[in-house]
A and B are shown apart, each in its own frame.
Chain A
Amino acid sequence: MKSQYFGTKEENTWCPGCPNFGILQAFKNALADLVNEKKIKAKNIVIASGIGCHAKIFDYLNVNGFYGLHGRVLPLCFGMKVSNPELTVIGFGGDGDTYAEGISHFVHNCRYNADITMLVHNNKVFALTTGQATPTSEKGFVGRSTPLGVKDKPLNPIASAIVNGATFVARGSALNTNHLKELIREAIKHKGFSFIDILQPCLTFNNFSPYLQKHIYKLDKNHKVTDFRQAFRKSMEWDYSFKEKDKIPIGIFYKIKKPTFGEQWPQLKKSWYKVKRKINFKKTVEEFK
């Protein structure tokens, strides 16, 4: 199977040169690899998206999908997974989508550790609504709704995910598609809640490509992904502000084995739509007589 299999003929309306194209390609490549390696089945792949530029990916992918509401990607993913444990569930969210409107779902899904993968297109701006600040916009960011500049520190999603119990936490870059593809593969293969914050500069409203290219580096092999303290320390290395001396690590910060949500529920063995029920009304109401 080639990665083109996962493409569609729908017209792509992302801005020319948008790094989202890099994410789309990395994702298709990762899926093709995993299907070819028989790690997953194409028919069992299902994606969910929120609302925003990232969400258009729904139309560009030839897989099962649920184009949901702004901020609600993770509940959809969680519901699909508990409904059918055979599915390979992948959520796409934006930074506004996931960290503003959807932050409660993000925190709790880190805790639940259901076997799903969450990919966040983080451009540190609301793009489709034409350039407002999000929770990961840097202090001082001037957008159309914040002409006086953002007054608060950005949220650090990597640190949040680690602290809240995600069992696979990574950062990728939409500009490094091969590296990103590898991260996505690992994330999907991981049993448990996998999260990748993907830096994806918005060429129109928040072009931090030059900064990203200058400051980015790959986590080296000595980084121990199972060490919570080390992972947390690494997550604090960059606070999502554009400071002159900072370096931005990409790669897997944290990866541990923990029972998944589904493994802990005796009922979650079979897809519910395949369950055959024998219902005995007389018996169910016996206790009331």
Chain B
Amino acid sequence: MEKTILIGGKAGQGTAVTSHFIGKVFCALGYYVFNYRDYPSLIRGGHNFNVLRISDKPVYSHKDKYDIILAFDQKTINLHQKNLKREGFILGDKTLKTKRLQKIDIQPILSKLKAPKIIENDILIGWLFKYFGVDKNFLLKEAEKVFKGKKTGLIKKAIEKGYSLAPKKERLKRVGSKKYFISGSQGIGIGALNSGIDIYIAYPMTPATPVLHFLAGKQLKDNILVLQLENEISVINSALGASFAGAKTMVGTSGGGFALMTEAMSLASISELPLVVYLAQRTGPATGVPTYTAQSDLKFAVNAGHGEFPRIVVAPGDSQEAILRTQEAFYLSLKYRTLAIIIGDKHVAESDYSFDTLKVSPLTNQKFILKNPPKNYKSYKITKNGVSPRAVPGQEPVIRATSYGHNEYGNTIEDAKWTIKMNDKRFKKVRYLEKEISKLNPVSIYGKGKNLIIAWGSTKGAILDSLPELKSFRFLQVSYISPFPKKVIENEIKKSKRVVLVENNATGLLGDIIAEKTGFIIKEKILKYDARPFVSDYIINKVKKKK
């Protein structure tokens, strides 16, 4: 069983909530669901849509051919009916104009219920699930859980009414255990909470904002502090102040805000303070296409900041990975006193993924702060692995952090010898980081073909869904970009016949990094830079055509 449903309407009509709810019900029935959100940068009007893909087998991406279109307005039909499958239909109010409409006379129902227009969605939902043959009580129970007290009575009545109007065409049964349904942003938030985050600071920017909202909503219950400050420069400098004083701290932003933060990333490096930065990419440059996706900031993340310094850059490919990679970012950043950047994008951040179980990282949740620093404590003590044991102010000895060239005590120096020593100290960590990261699946390989697709981040889903059609291909997902898992990537490339790079950008940024690190130039690239994510059919066609 597999269905793809498009739900479209004006911003403010509740397409996202409707789509999420339908997805939730299917997850409760044991189906795998992927939910894609598409919305322009406006608050009311325009055109928003969601694509829900539902299957009894795991799915990791959406499709662009639809079985059903749930239309809240005419525009949805005008824009999307060309992609409706031949046997598909459109569901909506009787005033909509199309030949393939399953119509409901909505206005009289709303009048009778004395309900606002938004309740129309629930009538359609009721209709839909009857059509699928899902038990009404099951549906109502799920509605109660999801809408918790928000006009639940009215919503349930509307669902029941819609249910009563539909034919029962299919008999979808429970197919397995209940699935988790979680977005990438929620994954980042959960990863942070499970890392023992103390403080999250941000300035609102799409598509990083959902993490700010998620954690802000948890702050009292989970005893964390979530702050919105005057700008991104303040955000990251405050975060470094907080980190210096001992808090586990994270900031989140998108490309434009990340640009403002780069100055202080240099500061994080020389002051050797742990800090986790979440970078949710969107389409640039500058304001670009702000609510849409891209993978165009990879080299920016790897190179952000003036001066040379090591950093951790990790790219989760879905919401489960978002949990794990966020935990790893915290662990490594704290253990090595090094900046860690989690690079995601709008597609991972705002898509909902389904899983049988959610995994948590086994890395222990430590603070890496000395309990009783010695009297002769040195803030920048030179050690074998370059990591100085960290103490925080308020403990007896004087604790120093500095943006300036310094000696082991953190006192200012400008001489050649100490400049080299401290630079070497910071770079010493890389070897140890590489070793540590090699145990964290820095790359994942899917499939067994002799040819290779290489990609990173959010393209994972569409590529995984392409593999069954591309039997001769393996898929190499690169998760750690810095330190770069050079050897294993080199080996995989060497033993492959055909190598294809898939990226959501115009120039193939990962390809550049692979070339820089391994000397191997990938000539075959499937690049997409229309601000939209890949779907599997697109990849399959491109791969097959190039052959």
- Residues of A participating in the B interface, judged by any CB pair closer than 8 Å: 8, 10, 43-44, 46, 48, 51, 56, 58-59, 62-69, 72, 74-84, 86-87, 104-105, 107-108, 265-268, 271-275, 277, 279, 281, 284-285, 288-289
Q: In the docked arrangement, what's the CA distance between A288 and B369, Å?
A: 33
Known: A79-B238, A288-B186. A66 touches B225 (CB 8 A): no
B2 located at the interface, meaning its Cβ lies under 8 Å from any Cβ of chain A in the complex: no
Q: Nearest Cβ in chain B — how far from A270, in angstroms?
A: 9
B341 located at the interface, meaning its Cβ lies under 8 Å from any Cβ of chain A in the complex: no
Q: Decide if B398 touches A64 in the complex (CB within 8 Å).
A: yes
A82 partner residues in chain B, CB cutoff 8 A? 199, 225, 227, 238, 242, 247
Question: Among B27, B245, B398, which residue has the most Cβ atoms of chain A within 10 A?
Answer: B245
Known: A82-B227, A289-B178. A273 touches B237 (CB 8 A): no
Known: A275-B198, A288-B180, A289-B180. A66 touches B248 (CB 8 A): no
- Which of A66, A275, A281 is B360 in contact with, Cβ under 8 Å? A281
Q: Which of B199-258 contact A (CB under 8 A)?
A: 199, 201, 219-220, 223-225, 227, 229-231, 233-249
Q: Nearest Cβ in chain B — how far from A59, in angstroms?
A: 5
Q: Nearest Cβ in chain B — how far from A45, in angstroms?
A: 8
Q: Decide if A79 touches B242 in the complex (CB within 8 Å).
A: yes
Q: Nearest Cβ in chain A — how far from B261, in angstroms?
A: 11
Q: Decide if B225 touches A86 in the complex (CB within 8 Å).
A: no
B264 partner residues in chain A, CB cutoff 8 A? 69, 72
Instruction: Taking A67-B400, A82-B225, A84-B246 as given, write out 19 further A-B residue pairs in contact, using a Cβ cutoff of 8 Å, ordered by the A residue number.
Output: A43-B393, A46-B399, A59-B411, A64-B393, A68-B240, A75-B235, A75-B238, A78-B238, A80-B242, A82-B247, A83-B244, A83-B245, A105-B234, A265-B225, A272-B198, A272-B242, A281-B194, A281-B360, A288-B180
Q: Which 8 A-B pairs have the closest CB atoms?
A: A79-B241, A273-B246, A75-B237, A83-B245, A79-B238, A64-B393, A272-B247, A83-B242
B395 located at the interface, meaning its Cβ lies under 8 Å from any Cβ of chain A in the complex: yes
Q: Nearest Cβ in chain A — how far from B466, in angstroms?
A: 27
Q: Decide if A48 touches B241 in the complex (CB within 8 Å).
A: yes
Residue pairs across A and B with CB atoms within 8 Å: the count is 188
Q: In the docked arrangement, what's the CA distance between A142 and B396, Å?
A: 48
Q: Decide if A284 touches B245 in the complex (CB within 8 Å).
A: no
B235 partner residues in chain A, CB cutoff 8 A? 75
Known: A273-B246, A285-B190. A72 touches B233 (CB 8 A): yes
Q: In the docked arrangement, what's the CA distance between A289 and B179, Å?
A: 6
Q: In the docked arrangement, what's the CA distance between A83 and B249, Å?
A: 9
- Which of B240, B245, B365 is A46 in contact with, Cβ under 8 Å? B245
Q: Decide if A271 touches B411 in the complex (CB within 8 Å).
A: no
Question: Among B194, B220, B398, which residue has the most Cβ atoms of chain A within 10 A?
Answer: B398
Question: Among A8, A10, A63, A69, which residue has the most Cβ atoms of chain B within 10 A?
Answer: A69
Q: Decide if A84 touches B234 in the complex (CB within 8 Å).
A: no
Q: Decide if B263 touches A69 in the complex (CB within 8 Å).
A: yes
Binds A, one of B5-13, B40-48, B401-409, B505-513: B401-409
B contacts with A, residue count (CB < 8 A): 64
B369 partner residues in chain A, CB cutoff 8 A? 273
- Which of B182, B227, B271 is A285 in contact with, Cβ under 8 Å? B182
A75 partner residues in chain B, CB cutoff 8 A? 229, 233-238, 241
Q: Decide if B358 touches A66 in the complex (CB within 8 Å).
A: no
Q: Nearest Cβ in chain B — how far from A134, in angstroms?
A: 19
Q: Decide if A84 touches B394 in the complex (CB within 8 Å).
A: yes
Q: In the docked arrangement, what's the CA distance between A161 and B247, Å?
A: 29
B168 located at the interface, meaning its Cβ lies under 8 Å from any Cβ of chain A in the complex: no
- Which of B227, B230, B247, B267 is A68 in contact with, Cβ under 8 Å? B267
Q: Nearest Cβ in chain A — how far from B241, in angstroms?
A: 3
Q: Decide if A67 touches B402 in the complex (CB within 8 Å).
A: yes
Q: Decide if B392 touches A76 in the complex (CB within 8 Å).
A: no
User: Which residue of B is nearest A286, CB measured?
Assistant: B180
User: Which residue of B is nearest A72, CB measured?
Assistant: B237
Known: A69-B263, A76-B238, A83-B247. A268 touches B196 (CB 8 A): no
